[in-house]
Amino acid sequence: MASKHNSDSAKNSSKNRVIYSEFGQNTDSAALERGKPDLPPAQQNLTVQASRKGRKGKTVTVISGFQSSEETLQKLVKQLKTQCGSGGTLKDDTIEIQGDHSQKLVEILTKLGYKAKISGR
């Protein structure tokens, strides 16, 4: 039985064994991620567009062009949803607000200091 136990531990250690690694172990993946620039609102050019593609005919206002951190965008999404009185989400550095609120969102974003314009009209 002792030999069987030794073979099991040998199998487990072979799974974690590194054969070759040029830059060391990649245990700290957060250090390897590319940081996003958190630009001030005045330096960001945003586009606001009403879209229906892939949403079963429902209109969604999409705001893209952000160069901000995830936390900043989450706060902005919450603020825009409450001011528009509708739902929304953050997907891949774009904000989606349910309904066609293009004009209202451009006004809100310019008051916040962003450079925003309506696209697709």
Separation of alpha carbons 46 and 52, rounded Å: 19
Q: Do 102 and 55 fall within a single domain?
A: yes
Tally the domains of the chain.
2
Q: Which domain range does residue 25 map to?
A: 2-32
Distance of CA 101 to the CA centre of its chain: 21
Encoded amino acid at 96, one letter: E
Instruction: Indicate whether 107 pLDDT > 80.
Output: yes
Condensed to tens digits (0 to 9), the pLDDT of residues 33-52 reads 656 677 888 888 999 999 98
Instruction: From 48, 34, 36, select the one nearest 95 (Cα to Cα).
Output: 48
Co-location of 27 and 51 in the same domain: no
What is the average pLDDT across 26-36? 59
Looking at the whole model, is its pTM more than 0.85? no
Residues 110 and 67 in one domain: yes
Query: Which two structure tokens, joined as six digits, stand for 96?
Result: 């989606």
Residues 63 and 105 in one domain: yes
46 and 78 part of one domain: yes
pLDDT the model gives residue 57: 87
